[in-house]
Each structure stands twice: as structure tokens, then as C-alpha cells.
Amino acid sequence: MKKLTGFMITLTAVLWIGTVNAQDIITNSVVKIYTVSSSYSYENPWQMSGQSKGTGSGCIIEGNRILTNAHVISNSTFLQVKKAGEAEKYIARIVSVSHESDLAILTVDDPAFFKNSSPIKIGELAQVRDKVAVYGFPTGGDEMSITEGVVSRIEQRNYAHSSANLLTCQIDAAINPGNSGGPVIINNMVTGVAFQSASMGENIGYMVPAPVIKHFLSDMADGKYDGFPELGIKFQDMENPALREKYGMKPEQSGVMVIDILIDSPARNILSVDDIVLSIDGVPVANDGTVEFRKGERTSLNYVVQKKHINDYAVMTILRKGAVRDVRVRLTVNMNSTRLVPFEQYDVKPAYYISGGLVFSPLTKNYLLEWGRQWFFSAPTKLLYYYQNEVRKEDRKEVILLVKVLADEINLGYHDLENLVIVKVNDRRVSTMSDVVKAFEENKGTYHVIEDDTGVKIIIRREAAEKFSQRILDTYRIDSDRSADLKK
């Protein structure tokens, strides 16, 4: 079964919403989702991992659309939906997905599905201590469940599905598998989508809040999803008095210091290292890197940027060498494009290249997940370091791995090699998978020479690799020596 538990469990909560008729309107628009999915193997990137099944929840919104979680339908090959209180299932299809915010839109082409249902409107950001109602189809029964909860905290948190850091609302509700994607209701409107729970503590669940939902719906309105923008900058807090004094900050000024600007940052050549960012779009930045998003409530400064869309502008007030000035940054990249090791990817085939039985692939979180649920503790320490700390640079835009060696007589002595970080192929420094392919295919020497980051060299005869690579592929029943993206 597809796992919608643990970090993929969501919430259940209820609010008395006034009248039976109002509650019936909500109930008639809540949907159970049935998924069949098939994910890719990153250990053997030329094949699939097998089929799995799962269920989730959703609700009908304007435009004959169904709002749910991205993790409910990720890697899906077949989808069905049915409404609460009805028996018939309808075939559904995906309209748009935001893996960053763990949201998705489905639809059903048969108009009969939407009969006797009224779309639920998207409301506003909840207040702390608001009572909420979460509708869904948790395990333990076939009928719809409604349970009660209260909003207890609003802040930026990492989303389990994507690892993206976005605004969330915490609610104290019982958590059960199958509630994923269910609407969280206040005053007959969707204030959030239940999507995950904390593994430690009791009754700690989270919902994707209304502003994030609205951002997704607005983004996809033109038929193309772009994502949440990213500044691509590393900041340092300015809480230490000596640090503030050193960089000429006055007592009434507050902000954070730029300590690195990534190669993909839209602020390159606009901001400089040691600039102090005092405000973004007129919103003051505190010395701890937070902003006030509502009276008496604070969260990360990223919130101000994430409210915008790709290609919007952000006006930043900075302190540079004692002088205050304004700069404009066009937000051209999304939050995953600046990472050296990508967050978890969905519905995307892994990249790979094979020569002489040597299997190369980029390091991704998906690859780390091959070590199981406890991957953070069991995956190789070096690979975890790259995932956590390293950023893209001109000479390294991907971490290239020698994943494994497909044993053959031409690669004797190397059969036990795996998880090596490759830095050079045939005396060329490799930054991307495309560099690896070119380094092999353009080599005219006697040998292929592959070097890892510790200086270990793997040497195979070029002619033997060209002559016997197909034999190796046939032996291991591999259709192609490379992924489709590298055939271009």
C-alpha cells in the first residue's frame, strides 16, 4: 500500500458551523481519492520500483476542480474519486501539482460527478485559537469522518513531502492515515488542507494554510505552474551587539547580513556580501531574521518573498558601508533551483549514464531515500553532508556519483565500488551529467580515467568499453545506456 502515514499523515478536526444544511453542503463536496502509483528506483535508475495503492481525501472547489495534497497523487498511474455518501467511483486526472506546497488539483471529465455538489470557497488565514473542522476519510471505516481541533501555532515549517520551508498552521487534532488532502473548514470555507503530523508529541498536526493555497491557484491560472520564488542568498542574524557595531548599524536599525550569494540567485550583481538587509517591500526585518506578518505574529523573512510570484520584483532596503539604499530584485528562480542536491522529486525519471558497466547518476534526496525511513542516519555521511551543506557553484552544479559497477570482465577489480563522488572524467572536471557523457564520448585516448574526490582512479580500456558495453546492458536487461534527458 502507498504510505500516507508518518510524515505523510494528515489531520482531522471539527467546528460546529451553524446549521445542518451548511454542514451538508460541505459534506457533499468532500471526496475520497483512490490512487495507484509507481515510483522509480534510484539504486537501479533504469527501472521502476513496483506498483502501490493508497487513499486520500480532497474537496470540490470552483471550476469543477478537486483540491488535495500532492503526496496523495504523486507518481500516480491511475486515479479514481468518489463523493461522501455515494458508492460510484469516477476516473480522475491531474490538472496541476505543486510539490513544494504539497497541493494538487484534479478534475473528473464526467459532469455527472459534480451533480448535487457546491464548490467550497477558499477562506482566509486562520487565527490562533480558532476552532476548525477537518473532513476526510481516515482509516478505520469507509464513511467520512469529521473531527475537532484548534489552531495552536502559525509559522514557517518544512513540508515533509518537499522539504520546502513554507507557512503552516499547527492544529491539535487526532491524526489518522487517509485524511491527507482533506479540507480544514472555518465558516463554511477552506482555511487549509490537512497534510502532515509531528512524529514526536501528541495531537500535533499541520495544515497548508489559505494564503499558500491561493498562491498555488493563482500561479496555475495561466496553465503553467512556476513555484515559489527564492532569493538564493545566505543570511546571518545580527543579534550580537559587537557584530552590529562592526557593520555600522544604528540602535534603531535591524536586519540580517548577506554572507553568500548563490550562482543562480537573481540578486547576483545587485546585492553584495556584507550588505545588511533592513526591510523587504517595506516590511522591517528583525535581527533574528523574522518579520511580522500579522500584529503580534512573526515568521521567517522568506514569507515576504514567498507571497510573490516568479518574475515579480522585491524592493529591498539595505545598509552598505554605512549608507542606506533601495535595490530591486526580479525573482526569477524557484526555491528548488538553487540547491546542489535537489529535494525529493516526483513524476520525474532519474538521470543515469552507463559506460563499461560503470553506472553514474546525480545525488538527489530520492537516492538517499534508498536507505529507508531512517535514511538520515543510515546513508553515507559524505552524501548527507553534500545534501545538507553544499551549494551549487560554477564548477559543480550537480554531485555526480558512481552508483555501482555492473560486474563484467572489463571492469575487474572495481566490482565493490559504490557511492563514489566523481570529480573528473578523462582529465575533465565534471559539473553535470552532461559533462560526464561528453567526457566519455569525446575521449580518443587509450583509456577512460575516472577520478573521485579522494583521488581514487578507475581506469578501463576505451575500446573494451565501446565493444562490450552493449553486452553488459543485455546481461543486466537494461534497454538504454542513458536516461532520456541525456539522449538530447
Q: What share of the chain is helix, strand, coil (3-state, %, to 5)?
A: 20, 40, 45
Q: Is 41 helix (H, G, I), strand (E, B) or coil?
A: coil
Active site residue 145: no
Strand partners, 428: 425
Active site residue 180: yes
In Å, what is the CA distance from 101 to each residue of 68, 75, 166, 280, 363?
Answer: 11, 16, 7, 22, 23
Grid cell at residue 160: 515533509
Strand partners, 284: 279
State the CB neighbour count (10 A cutoff) for residue 434: 16
SS (H, E, C) 277-337: EEEECCEECCCCCEEEEECCEEEECHHHHHCCCCCCEEEEEEEECCEEEEEEEECCCECCC
Residue indicated by cell numbers 538520515: 376
Residue pair 175/50 in contact (Cβ under 8 Å)? The answer is no
Choose the catalytic residue: 74, 180, 279, 300: 180
Distance of CA 454 to the CA centre of its chain: 31
Residue pair 184/192 in contact (Cβ under 8 Å)? The answer is yes
Q: How far apart are CA 64 and CA 327, in angstroms?
A: 43
Active site residue 260: no
Q: Is 424 helix (H, G, I), strand (E, B) or coil?
A: strand
Question: Which among 384, 356, 392, 377 has a CA at the least distance from the CA of 468?
Answer: 356
Choose the catalytic residue: 102, 219, 275, 481: 102
Q: How far apart are CA 117 and CA 68, in angstroms?
A: 17
Grid cell at residue 297: 505574529
Strand partners, 193: 183, 208
Residue indicated by cell numbers 482533506: 182
Choose the catalytic residue: 29, 39, 71, 254: 71
Query: Known catalytic residues?
Result: 71, 102, 180
